[in-house]
Amino acid sequence: MHTTYCKTPIGIAKITGDHNGVQSIHVLDEENVPEELMQPSTPLCLQECVVQLEAYFLGKRDHFNLTVNPKGTDFQIKVWKSLLKIPFGKTKSYLEQSKALGDVKATRAVAAANGKNPLWIVIPCHRVIASDGALTGYAGDIWRKKWLLAHENPIKQHSLF
């Protein structure tokens, strides 16, 4: 298993994986990453992930094309796959996600599976919100969820002239 780090506008992405794909991407606060870890060479198997994350944060990418290998239960993997169907710049409620998975009563289980998502941003759990529109339940802190949603759907100012 290899690890690399990528600086983003909202924290440090810790990326792990191997020749089978990217296994996890987690966001860390910058002060929690020793400076010496920020300088290593990126293993070949993780280079494309770094390139695509950097393009995403520059506003030049709205989807990811990576080989991923997340670890989870069958249910969690099913939930994570459903997250990939939420378009860039759009949101869906936990209830809507549960309905799409075929069980309206599984909302809490779906939310818990979203919370275990090991592939920050690549599997876009930040696009899932409460039914009332509230930004709830984000392992990377709500301020990051708000930032990501604004990044994906910026308010366009209309010209006055």
One DSSP character per residue, 18-30 reads ETTEEEEEEEE-G
**Is 125 designated active site?**
yes
pLDDT at 40: 64
> Per-residue confidence at 157, pLDDT binned at 50, 70, 90?
low
> Per-residue confidence at 150, pLDDT binned at 50, 70, 90?
very high
Cα distances from 8 to residues 12, 83, 102, 161, in angstroms, run 6, 22, 36, 36
pLDDT digits (tens, 9 = 90+) for 71-124: 999 999 999 999 999 999 999 999 999 999 999 999 999 999 999 999 999 999
